Amino acid sequence: MDRKLARAVLKQLFDSPLKDRELLIDRKKELDFLERVVNFQPGGVYGICGETGVGKTTVLNFIEVHEGVSIFLKLSEKDSKETIIGDLLYKLSRQILMKEKGKLANHAKKAIDFVLRERESSKSIDGGLSAPVNVSVSKNKSFREKFNVYEAYEYIDSLLSTLLDKHERLLLTIDELDKERKDEVLNILDSLKGIFEKEELIVIVSLPFSIYREYSKDLLRWNESGNLENILKGLLFVEPLSAEQIRQMILLRLRDFPEIFDGETLYDIAMYSDGNPRDALWIAQQIILHNLDKDRITHDLARRTIKEIVNRYFKGFFTLTDLQKQVLKAALDYAGDRQNLVKRLEKLSVKRQTAYTYISRLKDEGLLIEKDGKIKVSGKIMFLLI
Ligand SMILES: Nc1ncnc2c1ncn2[C@@H]1O[C@H](COP(=O)(O)OP(=O)(O)O)[C@@H](O)[C@H]1O
Ligand SMILES: [Mg+2]
C-alpha cells in the first residue's frame, strides 16, 4: 500500500490515550459510576481496576467534573514506596505550579525543590555522576535510606489542604499505580489514608487487577483484617469490551479507510484481543506492518499474519502436553459452561476429575477464560491451535 496511507492507518491504530470522545466505545456505566462519585460524594478514596490495556486511563480521562478543581497525576517512578511518594509529591507540585499563582505556586515550588534536593543528596552519597557503575541500583537504595518520607507527607498534606481552601472541592486522580505490585500499592495507600481523609477531596486511583478479588472478599467479610475496605470507599472493575465493540472500535478509527480490512479480519482481531482494546490495536497494527506490500488485508492474509505472530511470541511459553491440547481443543469448538465441557471430555475418555483439574489449571494460567459462566479458549492461544 501507499506509504502515506500506511502511515495514516498506523496512526489511527496507535495505542495512546484517546482525546476524541467520538472514538470512545461505550463505558457509559463506568463513567456514570465515577461521575456520581466525583460529583456527589463528600470525599474518599476510590479505585478503578482491570487488566492492563482494558481502558482504565481512557475512562479516567473522560470524567466530567462539575465543581472545584481536578488534578491528574501520572506516576512513573517505581521501585519503592519512598520513590513513589516522592514522585507523587513532585507531579502534584508540577501540576499546581502550572495551574496556580501566588501562595500555592510558591508552596509547590518549595516542594519541588525539596524532592530534587533529597534526590541530589542521595545521589551524591554514591558519588553522583562520577560513579556510573550500578548507579541506578545504588541510587534507589540510598534514596530509600535518605528520602525524608515524613516531610514529603507533610508537603502533600498541606498542598491538598491549601488547594481545598481555595477551590472548595478537589478531584485528585492518580494513574499508573496499576503497574505496581499489589502489596506495595496497598502499603502506599494505607500510608496516605490519613492525608486523603479530607472533606470535599475525592481521590481516584488505578489499581492492579488482583485487588478486585481482595476487595470483594473484604465486603463478604472473608478476610480477617478487612484492610481494603478501610482504605477504599468504592471500587470499579473495568471489564473487557465485547467482540462486537472491538470491531466497532477499529471500524471507527479506520472510518476514513474502510477498504483496508475486510469484515472477517475484524472478527479475528476481536478474537485475538479477548476484548482488550490495547491488544486489538496492537495486533491490527502488526497486521498492517507485516503486509505493507498489500493494498487490502484479506481475511486469509490477516489470519496467516496473526498465526505467525502468536507462534513467534507465545509458542516458547507453553509446551502443552497432549492432554492439555485435548482439553483446549475440546473447548475450542464449544461455548458453554464448565460442567458441559467436562461431559464432553468424558466422552473423549478423559476422567471426570482429571478434566476438572485441567480446566482449572488452564484457567489459572490464562489459557482458558471463563466469562459469564462460559468457558472459552484465550484468543491468543486459539490462534496457536487452529
Ligand atoms: N472504550 C474505548 N474506546 C476506544 N478505545 C479505547 C477504549 N478503551 C481503551 N481504548 C484504547 O485502548 C488503549 C488502552 O487503553 P488504556 O486506557 O491506556 O488502558 P489501561 O489504562 O487500562 O491500561 C488506548 O490506546 C486507548 O485509546
Ligand atoms: Mg493506564
* pLDDT for 128: 46
Neighbours of 63 (CB within 10 A): 18
CATH of 3-17+241-316, one of 1.10.10.10, 2.40.128.260, 1.10.8.60, 3.40.50.620: 1.10.8.60
The 8-class DSSP code of residue 221 comes to T
CATH class of 27-68+171-239: alpha beta
pLDDT reading at 217 higher than 90: no
Does the C-beta of 379 come closer than 6 Å to ligand 1? no
The 8-class DSSP code of residue 204 comes to E
The tens digit of pLDDT for each residue in 23-64 reads 999 999 999 999 999 999 999 999 999 999 999 999 999 999
Are the C-beta atoms of residues 91 and 74 closer than 8 Å to each other? yes
Are the C-beta atoms of residues 380 and 272 closer than 8 Å to each other? yes
pLDDT reading at 230 higher than 90: no
In the chain, the percentage of residues whose pLDDT exceeds 90 is: 69
pLDDT reading at 74 higher than 60: yes
* pLDDT tier at 226, thresholds 50, 70, 90: low
E strand or H helix that includes residue 29: helix 28-40
Which three cell numbers mark 87? 514522585
- Which atom of ligand 1 is least distant from the CA of 24? 3
Tabulate helix, strand, coil % of the chain (nearest 5). 60, 10, 30
Q: Where are the domains of the chain?
A: 3-17+241-316, 27-68+171-239, 75-167, 318-385
Which three cell numbers mark 40? 456527589
* Euclidean distance between CA atoms 82 and 95, whole angstroms: 20
* Euclidean distance between CA atoms 247 and 304, whole angstroms: 19
Ligand 1: centre distance to CA 219 (Å): 29
Ligand 1: centre distance to CA 142 (Å): 37
The tens digit of pLDDT for each residue in 16-29 reads 989 899 999 999 99
Q: Which of 16, 27, 58 for mutating ligand 1's site (highest number of atoms within 8 Å of CB)?
A: 58
Does the C-beta of 23 come closer than 6 Å to ligand 1? yes
Ligand 2: centre distance to CA 49 (Å): 10
Are the C-beta atoms of residues 111 and 86 closer than 8 Å to each other? no
pLDDT reading at 250 higher than 60: yes
Does the C-beta of 265 come closer than 6 Å to ligand 1? no
* pLDDT tier at 78, thresholds 50, 70, 90: confident
* Euclidean distance between CA atoms 12 and 112, whole angstroms: 37
**Residue nearest (by alpha carbon) to ligand 1 atom 11:** 277
**Ligand closest in space to the Cα of 53:** 1
Ligand 2: centre distance to CA 56 (Å): 5
Are the C-beta atoms of residues 204 and 173 closer than 8 Å to each other? yes
Does the C-beta of 281 come closer than 6 Å to ligand 1? yes
pLDDT reading at 251 higher than 90: yes
Q: What are 268's strand-pairing partners?
A: none
Does the C-beta of 53 come closer than 6 Å to ligand 1? yes
Ligand 2: centre distance to CA 236 (Å): 14
* pLDDT for 218: 75
DSSP 102-137: HHHHHHHHHHHHHHHHHHHHHHHHTTGGG--TTHHH
Across the chain, mean pLDDT equals 90
Q: Which of 102-111, 128-137, 185-194 has the highest mean pLDDT?
A: 102-111
* pLDDT for 90: 97
* pLDDT for 143: 54
The architecture CATH gives domain 318-385: Orthogonal Bundle (1.10)
Q: What are 237's strand-pairing partners?
A: 49
Does the C-beta of 249 come closer than 6 Å to ligand 1? yes
pLDDT reading at 85 higher than 90: yes
Residue 52 CB burial class (10 angstroms; 0-12, 13-18, ≥19): middle
**Ligand closest in space to the Cα of 76:** 2
- Which atom of ligand 1 is least distant from the CA of 241? 1
* Mean pLDDT along residues 113-138: 64
49 in helix, strand or coil? Answer: strand
Are the C-beta atoms of residues 232 and 46 closer than 8 Å to each other? yes
* pLDDT for 131: 47
The tens digit of pLDDT for each residue in 134-193 reads 445 544 555 555 679 999 999 999 999 999 999 999 999 999 998 888 888 888 999 999
**Ligand closest in space to the Cα of 50:** 1
- Which atom of ligand 1 is least distant from the CA of 16? 25
Ligand 1: centre distance to CA 277 (Å): 6
Ligand 2: centre distance to CA 76 (Å): 11
